Structure 1
């Protein structure tokens, strides 16, 4: 008789534990119903990148002094700097500068250590192509500035959810059903 009673007690404890787990998961599900949607319709809606976002590198040819600091601090020795020494002015003359973004790890060391600030990071991140060799950018390609996401009228920019939640507190709460 005692084995039967202990079996019922174990069954009751397991039932209570299962009900508690179901209750906890239901509370978590309910807490997620008041959140804003995370997904965006990518080609038409793009999220605004942060201020310190590391996108494509922008290069200013006139500022570069061909010191090759960017090559020395790069963990993979990626930037290619071609220069010649001009004897009459006793300075290096930059001939060619290129970066292969198919290999670049976007660490930002070249931008940080450049003494003349001729390199900077942009907010451009759409670099995908079908041919790998098109990712090798020369100084002309690197000097083009991308269109800012905020100024681009063809897309709708989406702020991150924390900024949007702060704005929504002033306007009243929004749920998924209010869209």
Structure 2
């Protein structure tokens, strides 16, 4: 006969003490993890008062250069949702297409970058501009004039300069 069989209450207390020790260890480990995060800098950006610094390969608003476009419609064929709308007319005397209108609806665009990657004349490029929100979804349909607008640099914004300077001061 084993002592555990004779005194089931003693066995219960031993299991209880082991569980208590295990729980205290888990609480201690989680507390140590919490303490390790105390000295870290905050990651949250207080938008719109602070702007996010985009990466080099960020896919923001598409910039379009009307003069470079040859109306080949490669951008439409490689787009997974056939999004760019290209209107052109065939000039019979010079046997070339003449671009009349080009538009992209950013309310539908998935920003995959295929149009930019496969454009043979590099008339499309991704910008770092990400502030496209509007109250009316029809305002997200950009024609060649809106697409041709030069992108605003996020780095030139005073809030970004403030963040960058504060990071330099804290690391230096």
TM-score by length of 1: 0.87
Q: Which residue of 2 aligns with 1:156?
A: 160
Counterpart of 2:17 (choices 12, 19, 25) is 12
For structure 2, which runs of at least 5 residues remain unmatched after alignment? 1-5
The structure carrying a bigger helix percent of its residues is: 2
Pair member with larger Rg: 2
Cα distance, 1:152 vs. partner? Answer: 2.5
Q: Tell me the secondary structure at the aligned position of residue 108 of structure 2.
A: coil
Q: Secondary structure at the match of 2:104?
A: strand
Deviation at 1:2, TM superposition (A): 1.2
Answering whether residue 97 of structure 2 is matched by residue 92 of structure 1, we say: yes
> Secondary structure at 2:68's aligned position in 1?
coil
Whole-angstrom CA distance in 2 between matches of 1:43 and 1:19 = 43
Q: Is the 8 A contact 2:63 2:151 kept in 1?
A: no
> Residue 52 of structure 1 corresponds to which residue in structure 2?
57
Q: Report the Cα offset of residue 47 of structure 1.
A: 1.9
Which structure 1 residue ranges, 4+ long, deviate > 2 Å from structure 2? 155-159
Give runs of aligned pairs for residues 33-112 of structure 1, distance below 5 A. Answer: 33-112=38-117
Contact 2:68 2:123 in 1 (8 A): yes
Does the residue aligned with 2:66 lie in a helix, a strand or coil? coil
Shift of 1:45: 1.1
What does 1:108-147 align with in structure 2 at a 5 Å threshold? 108-147=113-152
Q: TM-score, normalised by structure 2?
A: 0.90
CA RMSD of aligned residues (A): 1.5
Contact 1:44 1:156 in 2 (8 A): no
Q: Give distance in 2, aligned partners of 1:38 and 1:146.
A: 26
Cα deviation for residue 156 of structure 1 reads 3.2
